Each structure stands twice: as C-alpha cells, then as structure tokens.
Amino acid sequence: MNEVELLEGLLQRYSPTHQEAEAVNYLVTQMTALGYTAHIDEAGNAVGVIGDGPQAVMLLGHIDTVPGFISVKRDGDKLYGRGAVDAKGPLACFTAAGALVGVRSGWRIIVIGAVCEEGDSRGAQFVRDHYQPDRLIIGEPSSWDRITLGYKGSAWFEYEVKRTLTHTSANVESACQAAVNFWNRVATRLAEFNADKPKMFDQLIPSLRGMNSHSNGFVEAAQLKFNLRLPMGINIVEVATLIQAQAIDATAKLVEGIPAYRAEKNTPLVRAFLSSIRKFQGTPGFTMKSGTSDMNLVAPAWQCPAVAYGPGNSDLDHTPEEHILISEYQRAIQILTEVLRTV
C-alpha cells in the first residue's frame, strides 16, 4: 500500500458537499483492495469494515469539502489539494491505519467517509442512527501530536426587519439602520457575556455571514444571516432567547443549532493516544476547537470514549493554500496504527 498515493487519489476527486459520489466510489474501491469489506450505504457514505468481533472502533471522517478547487500537486514535503487538511488527510490516515492493523481478535474496525459534513451532516446522522461503537475517533486535523477533546456548538439565525419607506431627509430609522443597530446590540451583549471568560472555547462568538435589503416602493426590508459559536453550559433555547431580546420590532429566528461537546479525558482511548504519541517521540497535548464537527452530533448519542484526531494544520482549513505535510501524514498513520492495536 502506498499511503501517499491513496491520499493523492482522494484529493484528485474533487468533492464539495453534494458532489461526493466520485470520491466515495474511489475510496470504496481502495478500501476493498486493502482488505476491507466495503460498500456505499443508503446515505451515500463510504463504509469499510475489517474484522467481525463484538466490539467496534468507529473512525468517522468526512469525504466532502468546502468549494474551491485546488490543483493537486507535491512540492517537496507538501501535498496540495482541497481537503488535504479538512478532512481527506485524516480520512486517508484512518483508511491506511486500519489496513495496517488488519483483523484484530474481538474487534471490528469501521472506517467511514461521511458525506455532507460541511452541510447538513446527513451522512453522520445516518451513521448515528445505525451504529453503537465502543470507541469513537473523529477525523479532523489536530496535528500528529495532539488530540482534540471538544468542539463548540453552533447556532444559525436569520434576522428580518421591515420599515415603512420615508424620504431620506426624514430623521427616521430605516430598515438597514435597524439591522445595523440590532447587530451592534448583539455584539455589545455578547461582549458583556464574554467579559469574564478569557478562553475562546468558553465564549459566545458571533459571525455575520449574510446581509440583504430590498424595497417594493412602500416598505423596505433588511435581512441578516449570522452564526454563533456556543460554549459548554449554554443551551440552544437560552441562546435564542438572548438574541431575540436584542430584536426590537423585528424577528430573529433560530434556523438550526447544535450544542457544544467535550469528551472525557481519562479514558482508555485517550491513554492509548498519549502512549502512542510518546512512543514516536512526540509530546502529546490536548486541544479544544472553536468550530463544530460531527463529534457534536454522534458522541452525545453513543456515550462512548471519543476523541478527534488527524494530521494537518487546521489554520489551513478552507483556505486557498490548503496543503498537508507528507511527513506529518505518515507519522499520524504510525501513531493511529499503534492506537488501533492497543486500545
């Protein structure tokens, strides 16, 4: 098995959300050649299984990417391509490590390349409802010597305000001004919430992602679309109430939300990673991510030991310069192989 060519081939199959079929077919073919029993499930996920034991390790990655094609090329130790970091690098790492371990008595190794993680997570939702693993590893970049224990939650909102049209000389708040004032109130309220919370993981972080306005000649309307990254200890209803309180004569509607999640640190899975990273001359560390992943969706349902792990620098996620270090990718395969043999 050439693990670099495995990843390179996966990167060459451009697969933004809802366009994953070619990459899924490729991965299932490669899994079969590597000794997996592989198939495409009803949600369109690539699924590979090694072994038939009663206990299962689930390695759940995602095969879709954000849009933006990046030419696949090697430049010394760098391998460029959309998804090299987020998250085909970790997914290929999972596939290679599982193949190197092979059949292990009493265990099943399940590797899944889920669709739509960058969208509505329908792939992970299907997996959540059809499996109950004993160990869970989520495929997201953490770098080879760190493991991720938690992700912030996420809540999406749509705001709309309407105002009767007036002459521009009138001293009357327009719909656009009302939208700006609303957003400023949200920012002020969240700054107050965050004032005694120095760590980003504990803060409510707003991000304005869309704005629009229009008029029919009598009434003007302004819309905002925005996201909040949620810390532990705050639920979706509480957040929605806080946001709606800032809307005056307008609506701020919660579209979708998922709570934050933090895994336990003292588990056999975590200990296996710490030991393996040390074995390969690394100094292990923990990280908590300000983004959201499929861990938020499946880990609370399964209630098993969980971590997120994968090679790559997450600062390169979604950027035009997305690339992975081949040496880091190969080191991560070694570490994960050891984990799967001992956990």
Sign for the CA dihedral angle at 273, 276, 280, 281 comes to positive
Task: Give me 53's structure tokens.
Answer: 């034991």
| Amino acid letter, 33 | A
Are 261 and 184 within 8 A, CB to CB?
Answer: no
Q: Which tokens in the block code for residue 85? A: 């970091």
* C-alpha span between 166 and 253 (Å, rounded): 27
CA–CA separation, 141 and 42 (whole Å): 27
39: tokens are 């198939």
Identify the CA nearest to 194 among candidates 208, 206, 181, 182: 206
87 upstream amide cis, omega within 30 of 0: yes
Is 3 catalytic? The answer is no
Catalytic residue among 3, 8, 20, 117: 117
User: What six digits make up the tokens of 94?
Assistant: 């999972």
User: Which residue is catalytic, options 64, 145, 294, 338?
Assistant: 64
Residue 120 a catalytic site member: no
* 154 φψ region: left (φ > 0), alpha (ψ -120 to 50), beta (else): beta
Token pair listed for 35: 């000794």
Region for residue 60 given its phi and psi (left: phi exceeds 0; alpha: psi -120 to 50; beta: otherwise):
beta
Residues acting as catalytic residues: 64, 117
